Amino acid sequence: MTTLTVQPNRIAQYWALTKPRVTQLAVFCAVIGMFLATPELPDWRLLISATVGIWLLAGAAFAVNCLVEREIDSRMARTARRPMARGEITVPQTLAFSGVIGGAGMWVLYNLVNPLTMWLTFATFVGYAVIYTIILKPATPQNIVIGGLSGAMPPALGWAAIANDVPMQAWILVLIIFVWTPPHFWALALYRRDDYAKSGLPMLPITHGMEFTRFHVWLYTIILFATTMLPFAVRMSGLIYLVSAVILGAIFLWYAWRIYRHYNDLIARKTFTYSIVYLSLLFVALLIDHYLRF
């Protein structure tokens, strides 16, 4: 009876190490990149192999993140229940788990997709797990801006998987996520500021104050709105995407303006939630536009 109850719990703990909700959004953006890379539907075997490989390497990166930040996570209410923060999984176990799934992901991408995708995904792993988590995040309040490139890479990885190339169009998608990341994350940091104060991390609301951070949420949302016009400007998309981007962006601007001029924690929480919906719908609109045009 004990074996039956312990094993599912252990599986759930390892699953939690991969930060499944964040991983799902990253893989979703990668899959969009796969579909946009070709006017036809991508080969389903390549699609599945690339999705699995990127998912495994993303999960490995998040497991390393949980390992490095286990003490920080234990001081924050939002993250205190993570397995590493609670001491439910040891350091050697986490390293072994990350190594196994990361190695499996690299094997899948190299042998079943193409070497370019494997190396780009591995570079993204290093960028997030090492450069961002270990070096940038504890060093500068601009960590989320500088380190945002690794989190923005999934569309390029997906594009490379299908086309074995990363053209300008793929980098435009990367740029959109790169610019989206600061207002998305700073909205969270605003209403979780007490948590981040306990963590010891130099997050922008702690180091530069609430008003400075609120202004930067508004500023980056304006930049994001302009950036999302690029797919239409370079004829990567048509009117369906343009109208969708304008409507979705206007709503995001309205949330950001309220954060800047009429702040309360509830509007920051709603902005953070909307930012996830926004990115998902923006990429869906791009996908619909892509196939209707072809």
3-state secondary structure of 208: coil
In this prediction, residues 273-280 reach a mean pLDDT of 96
Q: Could you tell me if 221 and 294 lie in one domain?
A: yes
Lowest mean pLDDT among 144-153, 224-233, 243-252: 144-153
Q: What single letter denotes the amino acid at residue 93?
A: Q
Closest CA to 33 of 121, 123, 147, 128: 121
Q: What is the DSSP letter of 4?
A: H
Q: State how far the Cα of 212 lies from the Cα of 252, in Å rounded to an integer.
A: 19
Q: Could you tell me if 210 and 120 lie in one domain?
A: no
In this prediction, residues 233-255 reach a mean pLDDT of 97
pLDDT of amino acid 8: 56
Please name the residue ranges forming H helices in the chain: 2-17, 20-36, 44-68, 70-74, 91-108, 115-126, 143-146, 148-152, 154-163, 168-191, 193-199, 204-207, 210-227, 230-233, 239-261, 265-293
Q: Into how many domains does the chain fold? A: 2
Q: State how far the Cα of 83 lies from the Cα of 223, in Å rounded to an integer.
A: 37
Q: How confident is the model at residue 3 (pLDDT cuts 50, 70, 90)?
A: very low
Res. 6: pLDDT tops 50? no
Question: Who contacts 288 (Cβ-Cβ below 8 Å, separation ≥6)?
Answer: 240, 241
Span 81-129, pLDDT tens digits: 888 888 888 999 999 999 999 999 999 999 999 999 999 999 999 988 8
Q: Could you tell me if 62 and 80 lie in one domain?
A: yes
In this prediction, residues 17-31 reach a mean pLDDT of 92
Domain limit, last residue, from 164, 188, 211: 164
Q: Could you tell me if 174 and 131 lie in one domain?
A: no
pLDDT of amino acid 248: 98
Long-range own/partner contacts, residues 267-273 (CB < 8 A, 24 or more apart): 268/187, 268/188, 268/190, 268/191, 269/187, 269/191, 271/183, 271/187, 271/217, 272/184, 272/187, 272/188, 272/191
Q: Could you tell me if 109 and 236 lie in one domain?
A: no
Tokens 């130099």 locate to 202
Q: What angle do CA 129, 198, 178 make, to 5 degrees?
A: 40
Structure tokens at 105: 């992901």
Q: Are 122 and 99 in contact (CB under 8 A)?
A: no
Higher pLDDT, 169 or 8: 169
Domain limit, last residue, from 117, 140, 164: 164
Give the distance, in angstroms, between the CA of residue 86 and the centroid of all CA atoms in the same chain. 24
Q: How far is CA 124 from CA 59, 85, 98, 128, 156, in A?
A: 12, 24, 15, 6, 11
Closest CA to 102 of 23, 168, 40, 216: 23
Q: Could you tell me if 144 and 9 lie in one domain?
A: yes
Span 147-202, pLDDT tens digits: 778 889 999 999 999 999 999 999 999 999 999 999 999 999 999 988 888 877 88
Over the chain, what is the mean pLDDT? 91
Res. 7: pLDDT tops 60? no
Give the distance, in angstroms, between the CA of residue 142 and the centroid of all CA atoms in the same chain. 17
pLDDT of amino acid 202: 86
Domain containing residue 35: CATH number: 1.10.357.140
Q: Which domain holds residue 209?
A: 167-294
Q: Could you tell me if 147 and 180 lie in one domain?
A: no
Q: What is the DSSP letter of 132?
A: I
Run of H or E including 117: helix 115-126
Question: Within a 10 A sphere around the Cβ of 213, how many other Cβ atoms?
Answer: 26
Q: State how far the Cα of 287 lies from the Cα of 293, in Å rounded to an integer.
A: 10
Q: Are 254 and 293 in contact (CB under 8 A)?
A: no
Q: Could you tell me if 147 and 243 lie in one domain?
A: no
Run of H or E including 222: helix 210-227
